[in-house]
A and B are shown apart, each in its own frame.
Chain A
Amino acid sequence: MLLVVLEHDRGAMDEAAREALTFGRDLAAQMGAPLHAALIGADDADLVAEAGAFGAEAVYTVVSDVLADFGPEAWGEAAAELIRRLEPGAVLAGGSERGNEIMAQVAARLDLPMVANCIEVQPDSGAGEWTMTRQQWGGSLLEDARLASERPLLTTGLHTMAAEPAPSAVEPVAEAVDIDLDPSLARTVVKDRVVLEAGVTLSTAPVVIGGGRGVGSPEAFAPLEELAAMLGGRVGCSRAVTNNGWRPHSDQVGQTGTRITPEIYIASGISGAIQHWVGAKASKHILAINIDPEANMVVKADWAVIADLHEVIPAIAEEIKRRRA
């Protein structure tokens, strides 16, 4: 059996879990094994049905007081105990922050190797080793790796594959599994949650107006703010900008910032270093504004304006106002 550990947040399935199920269907077929799923901290008919729509034939649910909200140690121990009992041929989770964290907890608890952020996996063909291609540098570089393990623990590279329901949905067998969890595992469970802003965030915005070192100062972001507001979008920035203290880090796009997926990313005054690019490349379209026609961002963009962003951005805002008037 290939077991997929499903990430959900208070009953809502995470996109990364759907991606892992999609990837897992293929991998299970290669293994000649059935696809099963584990649902931790929820016994929810909708989630079970959704796992079935993605091809899971059985769903194991584990509920307990310490699993009521997310906690890496409690979720990790619940998954580890499930694996000890079910002895799956391999275990897979989505490559989100939580998915990787739970799998690392499982790996530590079972003292097994774990390979994070895989984009291709070939099961053991008899040589005693699995082989895979995984992401390094946030996806800027790939690693072909070998894995010798009695029970491979893997996560999938986030958003490297589209989540697709199975051609024909199955009605999964739901099985509640009783696991006694030590109450001390509650020491890392979420205590409180604070929501600061509802509505579009950088990772969900349909339009992102990015600014880099070329913007020049915190004040000079005002026209970018204005344009973003006109389009129902958000301002993003490069690490040069956050390092200078011009914008908060929550605006940063890239390897150590946010991965954005807007309809269009307008990147202005940004050179397009590889660590920025990996956060931007999932944008459906990219328009670069830069004085340097050779800048990496320009070369990789769909459209570019080779000019001073301080003149171009206000002109775009003016043109939109004119057309809307």
Chain B
Amino acid sequence: MRILCCVKRVAAPGAKINVTADGLAVDASHLGFATSPHEECGVEEAVRLTERHGGEVTVLTLGPPEAAEQLRYAASVGAHHGVLVATDGSAWDPQRTAAALTEAIRDLEAADGPFDLLVFGNESADSGGFQVGVRVAYALGRPIVNGIKGIEADLETDGGVVRARREIDGGFEVYELPMPAAVGVKEGINLPRYPTMRGRLASKKLEIAELSSEAQPGGQSLVRLHRPRETVTETEILGNGPEAAAAVVDVLADLGVL
């Protein structure tokens, strides 16, 4: 299988998210960066599918040059190729991002043939636009379903079918997409592996293909980021040991949940 995963580099904040003085970005000066969690699971799923069925995984990201780190991380856990569409680091709106990714995938497919499966995250962890994957899949004429927490590829039936599971309250739904297909996956579809020593070495040698994009801004533009107003809570300390149990049960009784 030839599989393409789209991943986004995002900051990894802790107890709160700080914003830069101009209000246009998350202040990441004291933060690390990571791959958006849904997409990290997407890469793992793609690698597992190629381990089962053969083939190769290409990881594509649009972001600042530093996003190469996320491509190298993907290589350290088994991805084969990395492609970067470099930006100046400013936030691109969803239409522009989708247009650039579509263009990049067309170029990659023109050179090496079609991908059987495109893997996106259900939504990016930071901007959370809930749309880039759907826009790209539509532009390329691929069927796509979001919210996927299980994938099985059947390469024999009717030229290839992807069976995908979507979690619903208390169970799951099953979809069957003809290949070439696309999915938006969610964390929990698997438990991503950690890089091995060999993986780390491979990632250092990864050759990253660089593409550029002329995609024009879409209709949505960022004015300012700010933190939501939080109500200040006066925490009542019920105790400092197991003897607090009686006070806890009083609370449960008062709330009527006993």
Partner-B contacts on A (CB < 8 A)? 70, 72-73, 97, 100-101, 103-105, 107-109, 112-117, 131, 135-149, 155, 187-199, 201, 203-204, 206-207, 231-233, 239, 242-243, 245, 248-250, 252, 255-257, 263-264, 271-274, 285, 287-288, 293, 296, 298-307, 311-312, 314-316, 318-320, 323
Contact = CB atoms under 8 A, between A and B. Distances in A.
B238 A319 contact: no
Q: Interface majority SS on B: helix, strand, loop or mixed?
A: mixed
Given A149-B219, A242-B191, 17 more contacts: A100-B146, A107-B131, A108-B138, A113-B93, A113-B95, A113-B218, A113-B220, A116-B123, A188-B177, A194-B174, A196-B172, A301-B233, A302-B235, A303-B251, A304-B235, A312-B242, A319-B246
B188 A249 contact: yes
Task: Please report whether the interface of chain A is mostly helix, strand, loop or mixed according to DSSP.
Answer: mixed
Interface stretch (B1-9, B11-19, B206-214): B11-19
A298 B238 CA distance: 11
A264 B252 contact: yes
Interface string B112-144: 000000000011011111110011011100011
Given A116-B128, A201-B170, A108 B139 contact: yes
A323 B249 contact: yes
B245 A274 contact: no
A137 B17 contact: yes
Given A97-B122, A188-B177, A193-B168, A231 B15 contact: no
B21 interface: no
Contacts, number: 264
A197 B171 contact: yes
29 contacts: A72-B145, A100-B123, A100-B146, A103-B130, A108-B139, A113-B218, A137-B13, A140-B227, A141-B17, A141-B225, A142-B227, A143-B223, A145-B221, A147-B220, A188-B145, A190-B174, A190-B175, A195-B170, A203-B169, A207-B257, A250-B188, A272-B15, A273-B14, A274-B14, A299-B235, A300-B235, A312-B241, A312-B244, A314-B242
Contacts of A196: 170-172
B38 interface: yes
A104 B135 contact: yes
A192 B174 contact: yes
A312 B245 contact: yes
Contact of A101 (B127, B143, B146): B146
A274 B239 contact: no
B231 to A, nearest CB: 9
Interface in B229-258: 230, 233, 235-246, 248-249, 251-252, 255-258
Contacts of B175: 188-191
Nearest to B136: A108
A17 B98 CA distance: 27
Contact of B17 (A117, A274, A315, A320): A274
A191 to B, nearest CB: 5
A117 B135 CA distance: 17
B191 A243 contact: yes
Interface string B171-201: 1111111100000101110010000000000
Q: Size band of the B side of the interface?
A: 35 or more
Contact of B176 (A97, A108, A191, A298): A191
B136 to A, nearest CB: 9
Contacts of A323: 249, 258
Contact of A104 (B134, B222, B242): B134
A296 B186 CA distance: 26
Nearest to A115: B220
Contacts of A232: 257
Contacts of B137: 108
Contact of B242 (A72, A137, A255, A307): A307
B15 A296 contact: yes
Interface string B29-42: 00000000110000
A271 B15 CA distance: 8
Contacts of A193: 168, 171-174
Contacts of A197: 170-171
B54 to A, nearest CB: 25
Contacts of B218: 113
B147 interface: yes
B106 interface: no
Nearest to A273: B14
Contacts of B126: 136-137
Contacts of B242: 307, 311-312, 314-315
A316 B250 CA distance: 10
A305 B15 contact: no
A142 B233 CA distance: 21
